């Protein structure tokens, strides 16, 4: 059967790649065309567009790139029609994917949505569109089942795909230390616009911790020149496409809000969650977003497990204080690690990618 999969970010590329592996296990004749990244392409799917050309974060940034986004939507529709898939699989990335879902429904194309848009945080009315346009919704956060039940929409909880991925990674033996000093991991994300804003602030604490080696996790899509320019003369190492190995070896981390905060937690690494965006975009978000936390860890646990430094609070003094709280043995560090163990229990041990593939294949069948 034919599958068309759309992911617009690095996390979607990871989850999409594991979904594709499972689809190919269950449907050896699968023909898969996708928007995503290197990981999805490496599984054998035909990559149409790379997420590095798609990911625009924030209200202002989306408006600035609206022309490009509209061109991508037009191109996507034509490419889907030409490919004529048995099922269209959308992975998160709601601003783009929900438009495509509406169009797909009008064109009688079956739609599976894997990893729900965060409609519980903002734009809850999007659920009306989801109910109208999505045949199968696959959610990865436990509380999303109850959220959708409130809207009288049945969804499938697959479990979180990171659980299996990270459990497997944790079992691998570390063969070579990244550095002789204890490490502090910096995860500034994979978008150039966010790296330019957040990484300089993260790097401002390096001089305060000379006994530690700071290491920046470099996503494959991030050019070396960009990071070298920002890092300058700081004594900082790069871990290119080696984030999990870094998280396994580090003592603590400064982590950009998003999927990376959950990955860091599942590795058991105490962290400080960092976010800073365009001031106008942030102001608009404060008026529209209705969640207590920005970190997935805190959202799932429904309490403040890890420190969040947001917008103007993300500064050198606060970062130094927050890091000092978690890098040395003590009550704060022990409490975070204990809460991480509870997080594993909440997420459960379901084979998320396998379950998602089963549901997608079932929908694709005539």
Q: Show pLDDT as tens, one digit a residue, over the chain (366 residues).
A: 999 999 998 889 999 999 999 999 999 999 999 999 999 999 999 999 998 876 555 544 555 556 677 888 999 999 999 999 999 999 999 989 999 999 999 999 999 999 999 898 878 889 999 999 999 999 999 999 999 999 999 999 999 999 999 999 999 888 789 999 999 999 998 777 789 889 999 999 999 999 999 999 998 878 889 999 999 889 999 999 899 999 999 999 999 988 899 999 999 999 999 998 777 666 666 656 667 898 999 999 999 999 999 999 999 999 999 999 999 888 999 999 999 999 999 998 899 999 999 999 999 998
- Residue 282 pLDDT: 65
* 39 closest CA partner among 296, 244, 247: 244
- Cα separation, 302 vs 292, in Å, equals 8
- Residue 9 pLDDT: 87
- Residue 352 pLDDT: 96
* Topology, domain 167-347: Rossmann fold (3.40.50)
- Cα separation, 302 vs 253, in Å, equals 21
Q: What are phi and psi of 215, to 5 degrees?
A: -135, 125
DSSP-derived secondary structure letter, 281: H
Q: Which residue has the tokens 């890098």?
A: 327
- Residue 326 pLDDT: 97
CB contact burial 256-285 (16+ within 10 A = b; e otherwise): bbbbbbbbbbbbbbbbbbbbbbbeeebeeb
Hey, is 46 helix, strand or coil?
A: strand
- CB of 138 within 8 A of CB of 115? yes
- Cα separation, 172 vs 130, in Å, equals 39
Query: Which residues in the chain are classed under CATH 3.40.50.2000?
Result: 2-159+350-364, 167-347
- Residue 61 pLDDT: 54
Q: Can you identify the CATH homologous superfamily of domain 2-159+350-364?
A: Glycogen Phosphorylase B; (3.40.50.2000)
Q: Which residue has the tokens 């996390």?
A: 11
């Amino acid at each position: 059967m034919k599958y068309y999969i759309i992911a617009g970010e690095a996390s979607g590329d990871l989850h999409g790649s594991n979904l594709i592996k499972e689809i190919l296990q269950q449907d050896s004749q699968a023909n898969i065309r996708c928007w995503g990244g290197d990981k999805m392409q490496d599984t054998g799917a035909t990559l149409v567009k790379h997420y590095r050309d798609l990911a625009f974060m924030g209200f202002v940034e989306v408006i600035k790139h609206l022309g490009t986004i509209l061109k991508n939507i037009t191109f996507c529709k034509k490419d889907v029609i030409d490919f004529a898939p048995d099922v269209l699989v959308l992975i998160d990335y709601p601003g783009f994917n929900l438009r495509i879902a509406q169009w797909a429904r009008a064109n009688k194309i079956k739609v599976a949505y894997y990893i729900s848009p965060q409609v519980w945080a903002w734009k809850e009315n999007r659920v009306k569109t989801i109910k109208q346009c999505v045949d199968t919704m696959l959610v990865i956060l436990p509380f999303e089942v109850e959220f959708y039940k409130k809207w009288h929409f049945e969804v499938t909880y697959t479990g979180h795909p990171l659980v299996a991925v990270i459990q497997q990674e944790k079992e691998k033996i570390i063969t070579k230390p990244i550095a002789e000093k204890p490490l502090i991991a910096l995860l500034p994300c994979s978008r150039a616009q966010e790296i330019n804003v957040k990484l300089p602030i993260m790097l401002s604490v390096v001089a305060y911790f000379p006994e530690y080696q700071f290491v920046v996790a470099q996503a494959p899509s991030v050019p070396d020149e960009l990071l070298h320019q920002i890092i300058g003369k700081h004594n900082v190492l790069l871990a290119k496409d080696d984030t999990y190995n870094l998280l396994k070896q580090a003592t603590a981390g400064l982590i950009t809000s998003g999927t990376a905060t959950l990955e860091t937690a599942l590795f058991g690494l105490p962290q400080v969650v960092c976010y800073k965006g365009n001031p106008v975009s942030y102001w608009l978000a404060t008026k529209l977003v209705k969640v207590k936390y920005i970190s997935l860890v805190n959202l799932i646990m429904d309490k403040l497990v890890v420190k969040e430094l947001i917008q103007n609070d993300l500064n050198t003094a606060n970062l130094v204080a927050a890091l000092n709280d978690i890098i040395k043995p003590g009550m704060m560090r022990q409490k975070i690690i204990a809460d991480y163990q509870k997080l594993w229990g909440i997420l459960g041990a379901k084979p998320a990618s396998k379950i998602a593939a089963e549901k997608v294949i079932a929908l694709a069948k005539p």
